[in-house]
Amino acid sequence: MSIHFARRTVVLAVKANCGGCRDFLAARLAFEGFDVVLVSAAPMPTTESAAPIVVAGEWMARAGLVAAPSYTVIDPLTSRVITEGVAFAPAQVAQEIATHLG
């Protein structure tokens, strides 16, 4: 599966049996002004997530995404990472990325 980034995108790294990932897997996330993509290095049970998860182990390794849950905001116009961090809760991620809406 390939993904085309049309606008700024929050890439959330998740993994199976991850207590901190539960809130991110439980609902279809929406962050105003951003697309959202969930990625995992390994296949996960489909029952574990309310949203599709892209299995992209090689891409995650090249991008240096090693911890879950974590987030990375990518700007497709510049092909750059805008910001990244540890994802503790959806509200925390929303607050941290809100400053990058412009």
What pLDDT digit, counting tens, does each position of 66-77 carry?
A: 788 999 999 999
Residue 1 reports pLDDT greater than 60? no
* pTM (2 d.p.): 0.88
What is the token pair recorded at 58? Answer: 């090689």
Can you tell me which residue has the tokens 């809100």?
Answer: 98
- So what's the pLDDT on residue 73? 94
Average pLDDT over residues 72-94: 92
Across 5-9, 27-31, 62-66, least confident range: 62-66
Could you tell me the pLDDT band of residue 2, with boundaries at 50, 70 and 90? low
**Going by C-beta distance under 8 Å and a sequence separation of 6 or more, which residues neighbour residue 102?**
none
